[in-house]
Structure 1
Amino acid sequence: MAELSPYALPLALYLVLMLLFGRILFARPVLPRGVLLALALIALLVGVTDAVTRLSSVLGLSPADIDLDMARWFLTGTPVGEAGLLRLLALLAMLPLLAFAAPLQGLRRVALVALSGTALASLSWNGHAAAGDGFGGTLRLVAGIVHLLAAGALVGALAAILQLALRPQGLRLRERTHELWQAAHRFALPGTIIVATLAMTGTYTYVDLGGSLQTLTGTAHGRWLLLKLALVGGMLGLAALHRWRLVPALATSIRGGWQPRPLRSLRHSLACESVLALLVLACVAVLGTLDPLT
């Protein structure tokens, strides 16, 4: 358990910030009231814990021994601390906007997308994306930010479609199944763009850090990256299964005589894809602690 603890906090931070950004970006179906506010509060709590843990590690002190001067130095005098402060301020600014019971739309939604995107993008300073200077370092950082936002969009879309698939169908079975089919069908093009963006930015960052086929197989970082890529490959395989088989089968079931099997199959496949996405984020949490060249 002690060996897993350094990775649990980054995993929680990645997951909650990606869910927050992604579910605001993909606002349909509507979440139960208070869910986004709860996610923001959890993200704020995890963010504070992450900042305290990082400062404690840097100074070699227990959290109880950290005073205000140390915290001020970390939050305003180091890149990681400044990114953490920006993250916390963005999350705090979201709280009053999420407290409204009104539908998530208009300028309020735009502001929430920008704030949640800022909080998610700030995680780039926690990893290898910020390890560079000059123009090359800026390009690497931009690639890292785009990679994070694309991943958040993918996680949010998957969560939204899974919500549609798992909700009780009841008397409106055909109508709700049609909504699920529409959501899955419409995500085909955006999903392809998001996956292509993730592939390009991820490859660029790895090569820019000095990665090669040799480091991919001969280092701990490379082996974890291969595991991550295998999991991503599994997600892509399931996505292809959705697009070319399960979603068309669902459409056929809706148009013709109703059959429960296509809906059940899509539910199971989406659940498996969600588990794979969680495992990918776990790999990312580990990769952030490893040197790409060793």
Structure 2
Amino acid sequence: MAELSTYALRLALYLALMLLFGRTLFVRPALPRAVGLALPLIALALVIIDAVNRLSGVLGVAPLDLDHETAHWFLTGTPVGEAGLLRILAVLAMLPLLTFATPPRGLRRMALLALSATALASLSWNGHAAAGDGLGGTLRLLAGIAHLLAAGAWVGAIAAILQLALRPQGLRLRERTHALWQAAHGFALPGTIIVATLAMTGTYTYVDLGGSAQTLTGTAHGRWLLLKLALVAGMLGLAALHRWRLVPALATSIRGGWQPRPLRALRHSLACESALVLLVLACVAVLGTLDPLA
């Protein structure tokens, strides 16, 4: 049960910080104000709980038995603690910038992007990406950061497009459907770049850690990685379906007289892709706790 709760916390933390970054990157459509404020608060709570759990795990004591001096040592004297402190401060700094009634634009949006990217990138110190020294360790860390940011961008894009697809069409049916088509069609090039970044950084990190074809099938880490790759392949298949079939069908429906079927098909496909995202992040939550070579 304890392991399950640890994995659930890691899953929730990754999802919250990826959404925080990804929905700031893909700012349209704007999130409802309540959701926009709730997301960083949830992320902040998860970040603090994660830091407390990590410290209690390192010391082997209950969270309630931790004292201020020990917490100060952890947050300022260890790489993982320093990353956790940076994460907390970055999310805290986002809160006043999200209290405005208007959507983030200009310098405010750039500041939110920088802060959310910092919070997400700091998760690299929670896994294998920070396990290295010298130039090789730096390159591995940079690859881990790029991998996290690319994943956050993908999660944010899926969430934004799904939000467009699920909102009531009403009297502005054609206009809102056209906005959905624009968002889905416009994601083709960014999506290709994101997938290429994920593939290159993921492969580099695995090989750099000593992974091979044998460890893919001969270790628990490898088998979980294979499951993750299978789920990602499913997401790529759905992305191809969107690009080459569902999105063009939606465009045809807009131009040639409204048909509800293309919109329903895209909604269902996006919902499936969102479910696969959660399963991929569940695999990531487990992978970060396993030795790649054992």
**Is TM (by shorter chain) over 0.5?**
yes
Give the distance between the partners of 1:3 and 1:79, measured in 2 at CA. Answer: 23
Alpha-carbon displacement from aligned partner over 1:135-167 (angstroms, at most 9, x marks no partner): 000000000000000000000000000000000
Alpha-carbon displacement from aligned partner over 1:148-207 (angstroms, at most 9, x marks no partner): 000000000000000000000011111111110010000000000000000000000000
Give the distance between the partners of 1:154 and 1:160, measured in 2 at CA. Answer: 10
Letter in structure 2 aligned against 1:79: P
The 4+ residue runs of structure 1 with deviation greater than 3 A are none
What is aligned with 1:6? 6
1:165 aligns with 2:170: no
Give the distance between the partners of 2:124 and 2:14, measured in 1 at CA. Answer: 11
What is aligned with 2:54? 54
- CA offset at residue 99 of structure 1? 1.0
The CA RMSD measured in Å over matched residues stands at 0.7
Give the distance between the partners of 1:124 and 1:40, measured in 2 at CA. Answer: 19
Task: Give SS of 2:184's match.
Answer: helix
Identical-pair percentage:
84
1:133 aligns with 2:128: no
1:263 aligns with 2:283: no
Where does structure 2 lack aligned partners over 5 or more consecutive residues?
none
Letter in structure 2 aligned against 1:82: E
Give the distance between the partners of 1:269 and 1:93, measured in 2 at CA. Answer: 36
Alpha-carbon displacement from aligned partner over 1:242-286 (angstroms, at most 9, x marks no partner): 000000000001100211100000000000000001100000000
Map 1:8-87; keep pairs closer than 5 Å: 8-87=8-87
Give the distance between the partners of 2:207 and 2:171, measured in 1 at CA. Answer: 53
What is aligned with 2:123? 123
What is aligned with 1:209? 209
Letter in structure 2 aligned against 1:291: D
What is aligned with 1:226? 226
What is aligned with 2:274? 274
Where does structure 1 lack aligned partners over 5 or more consecutive residues?
none
Alpha-carbon displacement from aligned partner over 1:211-265 (angstroms, at most 9, x marks no partner): 0000011000000000000000000000000000000000001100211100000
Give the distance between the partners of 2:13 and 2:167, measured in 1 at CA. Answer: 26
- CA offset at residue 101 of structure 1? 1.2
Greater mean alpha carbon deviation, residues 4-13 or residues 122-131: 4-13
Question: What is the TM-score normalised by the length of structure 1?
Answer: 0.99
1:235 aligns with 2:226: no
Give the distance between the partners of 2:98 and 2:224, measured in 1 at CA. Answer: 37
- CA offset at residue 100 of structure 1? 1.3
Give the distance between the partners of 2:123 and 2:2, measured in 1 at CA. Answer: 23
Task: Give SS of 2:110's match.
Answer: helix
Task: Give SS of 1:64's match.
Answer: helix
Across the two proteins, how many residue pairs are aligned to each other?
294
